Amino acid sequence: MQADACATMKIVVAIKQVPARDSQLRVAATGQWIEEEGLEYEINEPDAYALEAGLRLKEKHGGEVIALCAGPARAGKAILEALAKGADRAIHIEEDAAALDPLTRARLLAAAVKSESPDLVLTGLQSEDLGYGQTGVILAELLGLPHSTIIMEIEALPGVIRVKRELEDGWFQHIEMPLPALVAVQSGIGKLRYATLMGIKKAKSKEVRRVTAASLGVEPGEPAISIERVYLPERTKRTQLFEGDPKQAAAQLVEKLRFEARVI
Amino acid sequence: MSVLAVLEQRGGQWQRMSFETLAAAQQIAEELGTTASAAVLGHGIEALANELAAKRLDKVYALDHELLKEYTPDAFTQALAAHIKLLDPTIVLFPHTYQVRDFLPKLATRLGRVAVSDVIGHRVENGKLTLVRQLFQGKVNADVRFAGDGPHFASLQAGAYRADRVVDGSATVGAVTPALSPADIRTRPGEPFRESQRAVDLSAAELIVSVGRGIKEADNIPLIEKLAKALGAELAASRPICDAGWLPMERQVGSSGQTVAPKLYMAVGISGAIQHLVGMKGARTVVAINKDADAPIFEVADYGIVGDLFQVVPALIEALKK
């Protein structure tokens, strides 16, 4: 495909590896995090959409997509997946960063992004583990970049990008900003691709640069917020549960809806 | 020690979560033995500031500037950073709106702090504030504390505090003109628009059957359509289903879709992430069908069936015929 008139783009996509969606979670013995033993991990879904957006921009305009991930050795799997889907190379910040506060995490990412001077930095809107929804915006502030969040479309124009931002209650708005910039992508920006067999094969030979907080020159610093305790939430409603034989459960439920709740 | 609530408006109308934040600020201030103040940003916001002057607050700050008429992260961050530096409040509370999500992390970073986002509750023990928020899509709760000196920033989830608990009183209004120039603002916002007239108005539906990821494939959607037909219900979905294009976006319930309040909301294969729950909390009766007994949807359900939806739904359709 021929790149169009718009200059090619160097894009960094920040991805996080999180416990798989359907994981059964248990509270760790410390009471301050979840038990990680035996968990399966995957790319944080909102970040998978950020990667998708980056790959589509590259396909349209040419350029390079660099996957950036902070996490322990197991995050190598998420990086390999990003490379298999089409990222050109990757940077792995090898730190056990599971429950880092978002500023500390963003400082690590910022140091790695700086060394690349990209035109565009993409992140997912939020992580499915901590769910702060802050890393992208903090990263923009640390890098001195303009940003926009909850983005449904990205259009690259010479030196500028035009994004479609989702507002509440079904409203949208277009926003223009100069490059370089940071965009936090909303899930659903484009249908996620699967890695092809060829992609998986190629991924193994792509460059992965491994760095650490120390090699990036980032001092850990004191966290500004701390998780004191994690626990399973208490039920706020008393739920009548029907288990066992589906036919029997269905009949019981219909009975309740007709004669107790009287909603059907 | 003091508490500041930063409220949100657009074109002279309050964002509906603003008064929840105001109520929270009054409550937390009282528990900490101090007073609350409120700030609002915009242009031509006198009427809104005067409305706040009739609430139990220490002071109302109207940050008024032409460049705050339309929201931009640069202008809002700059105006608030300067004001908060001057005021030096201990705790600064925001509604967890899309707009706040866009600038609060930037504001906190600029002041060398970390905000606690999406808070669902709090406790005050020995004069210390602990905030409660959810992790892992609502599967786990966490108690979070601030370290070091204030200002401490937090945003509050929709519905976590009750707007009708705001206490009346009186406060003085202080007009503030932030130092802003057009050169400070790098993003150019366009006019808000709606995609198209909504063909489906779920907000008026009495009965809703809603489908989530548990349905696995687009080819399985007709099963849920059959259930909706058997009930005489409207069909709705959680976000991932609409993202995947299996149902149109206009059938999405949740923070980015429609807010519904039917007599019956039947959630099939929906785990109940908070973004979904905020869209259907107003339902009178909630039914959840899910294979995972720990799914957060059961926390808000009146009735639930723990089981495989591919067995339960056909059985339900049969039972409804009787």
Q: Which residue has the tokens 């931002």?
A: A165
pLDDT exceeds 50 at position B177:
yes
* Contact between chains at B147 and A222 (C-beta distance less than 8 A): yes
Domain with CATH 3.40.50.1220 in chain B: 202-321
Which residues 149-188 of B are in CB contact (within 8 Å) with A?
A: 186-188
Q: How confident is the model at residue A222 (pLDDT cuts 50, 70, 90)?
A: confident
Long-range residue pairs from B216-224, CB within 8 A, at least 24 positions apart, any chain: B218/B244, B218/B245, B218/B246, B220/B310, B221/B246, B221/B247, B223/B310, B223/B313, B223/B314, B224/B268, B224/B313
Global confidence as pTM: 0.87
Q: Inter-chain contact A188–B243, Cβ cutoff 8 Å?
A: yes
Does the pLDDT of residue A2 top 60, yes or no?
Answer: no
pLDDT of residue A1: 42
* Beta-carbon pairs below 8 A across chains A and B: 259
| Per-residue pLDDT tens digits for A229-258 | 999 887 666 889 998 899 999 999 999 999
pLDDT at residue A100, rounded to an integer: 78
Checking if the pLDDT of B47 tops 90, the result is yes
| Percent over 70 (pLDDT), chain A | 95
Phi/psi zone of residue B127: left (φ > 0), alpha (ψ -120 to 50 degrees), beta? left
Residues of A in contact with B140 (CB under 8 A): 25, 27, 34, 230-233
- Characterise B33 by phi-psi region: left (phi > 0), alpha (psi -120 to 50), beta (else): left
Task: List, for residues B199-257, the tens digit of each pLDDT value.
Answer: 678 888 999 999 999 999 999 999 999 999 999 999 999 999 998 889 998 899 998 88
User: What is the C-alpha to C-alpha distance for residues B277 and B253, in angstroms, rounded to an integer?
Assistant: 9
pLDDT band at A219 (very low <50, low <70, confident <90, very high): confident
The per-residue pLDDT of chain B, averaged, comes to 94
- Which member of A130, A134, A177 has the closest CB to residue B105? A134
Task: Specify the pLDDT at position A171.
Answer: 86
CATH homologous superfamily for the domain B3-184: HUPs (3.40.50.620)
Each residue's pLDDT tens digit, A78-116: 999 999 999 999 999 999 876 678 999 999 999 999 999
Report the C-alpha gap between B38 and B59 in whole angstroms.
7
User: A139-193, pLDDT tens digit by residue?
Assistant: 999 999 999 999 999 999 989 999 999 988 778 999 999 999 999 999 888 889 9
Predicted confidence at residue B194, as pLDDT, reads 84
What is the reported pLDDT for A98?
A: 67
CATH 3.40.50.2300 for domain B202-321, yes or no, is: no
Q: Which residues of B touch A228 (CB under 8 A)?
A: 130, 142-145
For residue A3, is pLDDT > 60? no
CA angle A77–A81–A84, rounded 5-degree value:
135
> Are B114 and A103 a contacting pair at CB < 8 A?
yes
Q: Which of A131, A228, A264 sits opposite B130 (nearest CB)?
A: A228
Q: Is pLDDT above 60 for A69? A: yes
More confident residue, B21 or B282: B21
Cβ-defined contact of B311 to A246 (cutoff 8 Å): yes
Distance CA A251, CA B195 (A): 42
Per-residue pLDDT for B83 more than 90? yes
CA of B171 vs chain A CAs: smallest distance (Å): 31
What was the pLDDT predicted at A223?
85
Give the chain B residue nearest A142 (alpha carbons).
B109
**Which domains does chain A possess?**
9-216 (3.40.50.620), 235-264 (no CATH)
Using a pLDDT cut of 70, give the percent of chain B over it.
Answer: 99
CATH 3.40.50.620 in chain B: give the residue spans: 3-184
